[in-house]
Amino acid sequence: MPENNAWWVEQTERCVAATYNRYPIALVKGEGCRVWDADGKEYIDCAAGIAVCSLGHAYPPLVEALSNQASRLLHVSNLYHIPEQSKLACLLVEHSFADRVFFCNSGAEANEGAIKLVRRYHLEKGNPERFQIITMEQSFHGRTWATIAATAQEKVKKGFEPLPGGFLHVPFGDVEALKRAMGPQTAAVMIEPIQGEGGVVLPPESYLKEVEDLCRREGVLLVLDEVQTGMGRTGALFAYQHEGIVPHVLTLAKGLGGGVPIGAVLFSEEVACGLPAGSHASTFGGNYLACAAGMVVVETLLSPGFLEGVNSKGQLLIKLLKKVAENIGLISEVRGRGLMVGVEFQEDLSPQVVAALMDEGVLTVPAGSRVVRFLPPLVISEDELQEAVKRFEKAVKRLG
Ligand SMILES: Cc1ncc(COP(=O)(O)O)c(C=O)c1O
């Protein structure tokens, strides 16, 4: 059998759990911001593995660091000190609000760690009645049992009830609703600085600052889920840095390893009693390979001019997409920050647009039924963005 797209689709459907609705292509090679499928078709990658491959594909310094590390030591467990882990933790601490980092393997696992930290913190401080975590409507925090309870989307919870208790949801962007929901039982507010899966929803001006003030006044912890917005995606190393706020806890994953699975919980010394010795662990968390990847990613993002480049390319992308929106009546809004950009359609068109754009040779990601997300590698060039938007216009025109 030729190992083409059709053959791989058949193999997947035969043996892999049917949890994903997959597009009928199998990607077999990547270089820079291009990927190729098993039929040899080339795509401009404006999905980056859903905001993961921040340095594109086969980025030479990342390939070199991974192959060097693989030939030395991959894994020994957290029974011992892991120099690569210490280096990455120190780098993240140096460039954020945090004093400590717990490493894990994914966004959901990072959020699980944050949830445990919050609960234990209040217990250690003599306030066991504070157990409730408030999250936002249309949020997304992961697919584990506790994180689907935290996620305020019915489609994610459906079929898995009864879920762990202690989560309450309020509308995103509404400080008054948050105030009303807070009480003596409130332990934390957990929030994405920009909602990703919810449709690239930006908070109203000064909302996050008001949330921070409210949390500090009420003795409530502020947990930022930066699994999607973190690691340069919005044009700052972390999205909270745009807002002039300081969280107690912040979670990362996706872009941190540039494609190698890694997650992290960053937190201040003030709340470190929430994760005391023996309270939490993860076999693979912070292993050599993942942390070697993380070092390359963070050092690249911090290199002179890199984040400025993300900002200017993001502005260009939004400008180009807005021009398309003016030419075509189907689009209601183009919004985003840095290279996290959403195009909202007036109707439920996102699955068709993503599929039509794939035909044109561009990968994007839907967020719900109306929003198409552009989350390209942060190293994408202006020429590639222009070409991607040209093909986007052609794809949407075809649908219109
Ligand atoms: C904001 C946010 N939190 C958590 C997650 C879950 O991350 P993972 O799929 O790595 O568990 C995601 C994934 O899309 C996310 O966007």
With 90 as the cut, is the pLDDT of residue 400 above it? no
- Confirm if 50 and 229 have CB atoms less than 8 A apart: no
Cα of 224 from ligand 1 centre, angstroms:
12
Per residue in 104-130, is it b (16+ CB within 10 Å) or e — as a string?
bbbbbbbbbbbbbbbbbbbbbeeeeeb
CB 242 within 8 A of CB 337: yes
Report residue 128's pLDDT band, with 50, 70 and 90 as the boundaries: very high
Identify which of 228, 250, 365 to mutate to test ligand 1's pocket (most ligand atoms within 8 A of the CB): 228
Pocket of ligand 1 (CB under 6 A): 106-108, 111, 140-142, 192, 196-197, 225, 227-228, 253
- Supply 171's token pair: 């509308």
**pLDDT tens digits, one per residue of 25-40:** 999 999 999 999 999 9
Q: How many CB atoms lie within 10 A of CB 299?
A: 14
pLDDT digits (tens, 9 = 90+) for 261-285: 999 999 999 999 999 999 999 999 9
What are the residue ranges spanned by the domains of the chain? 5-58+305-399, 73-301
| Ligand 1 atom closest to residue 106's alpha carbon, by position in its atom list | 10
Distance of alpha carbon 375 from alpha carbon 46, whole angstroms: 5
Q: Residue 315, exposed/middle/buried by CB under 10 A (0-12, 13-18, 19+)?
A: middle
Q: Which CATH architecture has domain 5-58+305-399?
A: Alpha-Beta Complex (3.90)
Predicted local distance difference test score (pLDDT) of residue 325? 97
- CATH topology (fold) of 73-301: Aspartate Aminotransferase; domain 2 (3.40.640)
pLDDT, tens digit (0-9, with 9 covering 90-100), for 67-121: 999 999 999 999 999 999 999 999 999 999 999 999 999 999 999 999 999 999 9
pLDDT at residue number 345: 98
Q: Note the pLDDT of residue 162.
A: 97
Residue nearest to ligand 1 atom 7, measured at CA = 107
Compute, in angstroms, the gap from residue 228 CA to the centroid of ligand 1.
7
- CA distances (Å), origin 52, targets 62, 106, 125, 267, 287: 14, 11, 37, 22, 18
Q: Residue 170 pLDDT > 90, yes or no?
A: yes
Region 325-348: what's the mean pLDDT? 96
Q: What is the overall mean pLDDT for the chain?
A: 97
CA of residue 237 to ligand 1 center, whole Å: 17
pTM for this predicted structure: 0.98
Bond from prior residue into 162 cis (ω within 30 degrees of 0): yes
Which atom of ligand 1 approaches the CA of 142 most closely?
6
